[in-house]
Amino acid sequence: MIKRVFWAVSCAFIGLGGPLWAANGVGVLYDCDITDKKDRQFWISDKIAIVITDAGDVVVSDQVILYFKGLPVEARVTRNTDRKMDIRWTLRDLVNDANQRTAAFEYSATLTKATNRIAVYGKPDGYADRFSGKGQCTTRKG
C-alpha cells in the first residue's frame, strides 16, 4: 500500500495527478502551492503534495524531499480537529551544497480545513534558523 501511495504522490507532484491519482483510490491528496515564503526560500518548496490514505498513513513530497531523498517521505498527523490538521515529517542526514551537515530537519504543516490554507515551517537541528511559508491547497479524493 505504501508503495502505491509513494507512486501516486510522485505522479501528482510532477503533474500527472488527476486521472492517475483517482485511479489509485488511496485517500486524499492535498496539492499545495506555497506563495508567501520568508528568507532563504529553498528550504520551503513552492509546491507540496500531502497524501493521507484511507488507512491513515501520511506521505509528503516536495522539491526539498526529492532533492535530498529522491522519493516522498512518510509523515504523521499530530493533531486533527474539525478546524485544523497538523502534519510533521523529518529529513535526516542532510548535506547541502556548502557541505553543511544537518542530522535532522524538522518540518511541520498546518492545514486549515475550511479554507484549505497551509502554513509550513522548517527547522534544522543544531541551527537557529527557522523557515516558513504559506499558501493554498486544493484537494483531490482518490
**CA pair distance 142, 131, nearest whole angstrom:** 31
Which 3 state secondary structure label does DSSP give 115?
coil
**CA pair distance 51, 96, nearest whole angstrom:** 27
pTM for this predicted structure: 0.81
Q: Find out whether 15 and 29 touch, Cβ atoms under 8 Å.
A: no
Q: pLDDT per position in the chain (142 positions), as tens?
A: 444 554 455 555 545 444 444 445 579 999 999 999 876 678 999 999 999 998 889 999 999 999 999 999 999 999 999 999 999 999 999 988 888 888 999 999 999 999 999 999 999 998 888 999 999 999 998 7
